[in-house]
Each structure stands twice: as C-alpha cells, then as structure tokens.
C-alpha cells in the first residue's frame, strides 16, 4: 500500500473519530485482499449518529475530491453503512452489528492462515 493511500485512510479515520466514532479501527488488508487495501471500522452510538456521521463524511469526501464508488442513497435501517472508496472501505456500524460480524476477528484469522 502506498504512503498516500495510508495518509488518506488515516485522515478519514481521524475525521470519524472527531465526529464521535467509537473504537475506530484502521485495518491494513492489502496482503490478504485483491479488491481493497484498508478497512476503516467505527461504532456509532445510535441510528441518528450513524446517519449524521455518514452525511458529514460524504461531504468531507466530496470536499477532498475522494471518489466514492458505492454508497447507499439513503442510510439503511439495519445499523450498517458501507462506503466503498475502492482501495478504502468504510464500515459505520451499530454496536450490535459490529459485534455480530466481528470484521476485525475475521481479517485477523485470514492473516493467521498465511
């Protein structure tokens, strides 16, 4: 992964943390994944918080000329918003969704297999 990509990912992580994202984590998946380099995962305290952070994040990405490959037009009621930037994938999740899917553990297991 390039230094430029990592800097972009760190800036997005910090933006989410500044907007009260809980336990925001950046995972380098570049060695185990052919379609992305970084996951950013953050817990949102409520559906309203998720909606607000997602809207603010979309504005931040647009202001910084970051291309969004995929996003929902309306934020889902399930408590998980995925924003695909190509090399960076952002997961804004409710506590329940994050615990259930446990993405950090999934990617740690993949690293252990290699």
pLDDT at position 1, please? 72
The overall pTM is greater than 0.95: no
Structure tokens that stand for 12 in this block? 């997005």
pLDDT at position 112, please? 46
Domain encompassing residue 34: 3-113
pLDDT at position 106, please? 82
The CA distance from 46 to 37, in Å, is 28
53-59 contacts at long range (C-beta below 8 A, 24 or more positions apart): 53/16, 53/19, 53/20, 53/21, 53/92, 54/81, 54/83, 54/92, 56/15, 56/19, 57/12, 57/15, 57/16, 57/19, 57/83, 57/90, 57/92, 58/83
Per-10-residue mean pLDDT, the chain, length 114: 90 98 94 90 95 94 92 72 94 94 78 50
pLDDT at position 109, please? 55
pLDDT at position 111, please? 52
Number of domains observed in the structure of the chain:
1
Q: Residue 7 belongs to what H/E stretch?
A: helix 3-18
The CATH code of the domain that includes 32 is 3.30.460.10
Q: Where are the alpha helices (DSSP H) in 19-63?
A: 47-63
pLDDT at position 73, please? 60
């Amino acid at each position: 992964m390039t230094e430029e990509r990592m800097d972009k990912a760190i800036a997005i992580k910090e933006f989410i943390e500044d907007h009260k994202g809980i336990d925001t984590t950046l995972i380098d998946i570049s060695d185990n994944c052919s379609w992305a380099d970084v996951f950013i995962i953050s817990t949102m305290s409520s559906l309203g918080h998720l909606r607000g952070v997602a809207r603010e994040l979309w504005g931040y990405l647009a202001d910084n000329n970051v291309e969004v490959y995929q996003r929902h037009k309306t934020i889902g009621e399930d408590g998980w918003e995925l924003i695909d930037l190509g090399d960076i994938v952002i997961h804004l999740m409710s506590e329940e969704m994050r615990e259930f899917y446990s993405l950090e553990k999934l990617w740690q297991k993949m690293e252990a297999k290699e």
